[in-house]
Amino acid sequence: MNHEYHELMENIQVPKELEARVLRAAWKQQRTDTGRRAGRHWKMALRGAVCAACALALVLGTVTFRPKQEPSDGEQSAGVLSGFTYAFGLTAYAADTGETFLPNANGGLAILSGAGLMDPEWGGFTGSLFQVNGEDIQTVSLSINKGGLYRNRLHTGLTEEERLDFYRKMEEHVLPPVSISRDETGMWYLPELEPLGDSVTEDYDPEAQYGFWIPPEELVTEDGLDGPDYVHANVDFFDGAVLTVSVTMKDGTTQTKDYRLSTGRLKVTREADGSCRMLPQLAGGEEPYLYGIYAADQEQSRWFAWPVQGSRTVSLSNPYGARANPGGQGETFHTGIDIPAPEGEVILAAADGTVIETGFDTVRGNYLLLDHGNGLSTLYGQCRNLTAEKGDAVKAGEMLGAVGSTGMSTGPHLHFEVRQDEQPQDPVAYFDSTVRETLTMQ
């Protein structure tokens, strides 16, 4: 029986520059011991390696410009930028390949379940790892309101004496039992896993890796639950949890961010620039997927309402992203998602905004462009007709028009796009878990 990750490799095209690393990770997964028996319960190692090279980053530590505060006639000027402060963020870490990747849309972080451990004595180490990034950080504090966290230290280039010492500590229950493996050069390595409880404060280390930990008494141990289902059930422990990250800068200032976690299938999408993204899969899809944790910045993320009144379906044959043309000649990039619905069904504004453009062209048919501020906009295409006009201010959920089949269309549907600074984004990133759970793909 094919493993779900093998199916991913067979059905998803990945950028050429990642292919070799992905295949090496898959080979390492097949040859690495995933568990052992030693007079106690079976310990399952989690090996989400095959597409770990597509792990995503969230808002790398960046420079944030602040408006110059100069009062003028009783008002502050918000248009002149002066000076800057350093911000921080999180990065998803690919446990099996040691790589991190580009930021995701809408402040979201997709964290795979990679190499980890489920042990009745030590608890669940999910292999879902992240790092804190930024400039001029002095201390970092992490807390979670459900379960706990752990530190992951990767020891490489072990001597024989060091390897035997780690084995002894695991046999004496000083350290959790993990696999000690060899890399391509024959050198020994292993991850050291250290439970931290539900909070930790420490000096900032840019190399520190943290993961999500399940206390032993909270592990899912249902009879007959095995393989990927066992892994998924335990990762789901963190669904709905909130991770809080606070940092103190060297100048004494502090910054805090809250990330709401959702768990489930992560769909791999290739962007127009060839980069790899993972986003929460829409419910009901049967496409290949990876399982993991999706962390959304509660302050910076901008969530949309569903834009079609009477349809909760997304076209599986025409999703966002690059896809091969019929016959295998080249590929086309679809800049939105298609939502099939009956002719005349009501189209709704996804968020408050101002209509900045309406019109007709041979591809999009009747279309409308809605500006939501801060460079974010949505486009509604293939409409039968429009009820809003250029210049109108609309509220989320207000009617914009009706579903049709105008322009380049083979049936009634809404073509829905999200753009940030005029660049297309995957719309899936802008629907929170409460919306995604109501949707199907066909």
Whether 237 and 339 share a structural domain: no
> 305 lies in a domain?
no
pLDDT value at position 101? 59
pLDDT value at position 437? 86
Amino acid 35 reads G
> 437 lies in a domain?
yes
> 126 lies in a domain?
yes
Whether 100 and 219 share a structural domain: yes
> 393 lies in a domain?
yes
pLDDT value at position 285? 63
Last residue of a domain, one of 297, 323, 344: 297
Structural domain including 232 reads 4-297
Neighbouring CB atoms inside 10 A of 303's CB total: 17
pLDDT in tens, 220-245: 887 777 778 888 899 999 999 999 99
Query: Considering only CA atoms, which of 125, 180, 131 is closest in space to residue 157?
Result: 180
Last residue of a domain, one of 272, 297, 322: 297
- Supply 326's token pair: 């019929």
Whether 234 and 284 share a structural domain: yes
The residue with tokens 């504004």 is 349
Query: Considering only CA atoms, which of 247, 306, 288 is closest in space to residue 428?
Result: 306
The residue with tokens 């909270």 is 218
pLDDT in tens, 329-361: 778 889 999 999 999 999 999 999 999 999 999
Last residue of a domain, one of 271, 297, 323: 297
CA distance 194 to 125: 9
pLDDT value at position 227? 79
CA distance 96 to 336: 32
Whether 240 and 336 share a structural domain: no
pLDDT value at position 73? 42
Whether 246 and 387 share a structural domain: no
pLDDT value at position 302? 93
- Supply 334's token pair: 């679809």
Whether 95 and 226 share a structural domain: yes
> 170 lies in a domain?
yes
> 302 lies in a domain?
no
Whether 281 and 328 share a structural domain: no
| CATH code of the domain containing 388 | 2.70.70.10
Total number of domains in the chain? 2
Tens-of-pLDDT digits for all 442 residues of the chain? 333 333 333 343 333 333 333 333 433 333 333 333 332 333 333 333 333 333 333 333 333 333 333 333 443 333 333 334 457 899 998 776 777 755 578 888 989 888 789 999 999 999 999 999 999 999 999 999 999 999 999 999 999 999 999 999 999 999 999 999 998 899 999 999 999 999 999 999 999 999 999 999 999 887 777 778 888 899 999 999 999 999 999 999 999 999 999 999 888 777 777 777 788 887 666 677 888 999 999 888 999 999 999 999 999 788 888 777 766 677 888 999 999 999 999 999 999 999 999 999 999 999 999 999 999 999 999 999 999 999 999 999 999 999 999 999 999 999 999 999 999 999 999 999 889 889 888 7
Whether 285 and 321 share a structural domain: no
> 32 lies in a domain?
yes
Whether 169 and 110 share a structural domain: yes
Whether 321 and 388 share a structural domain: yes
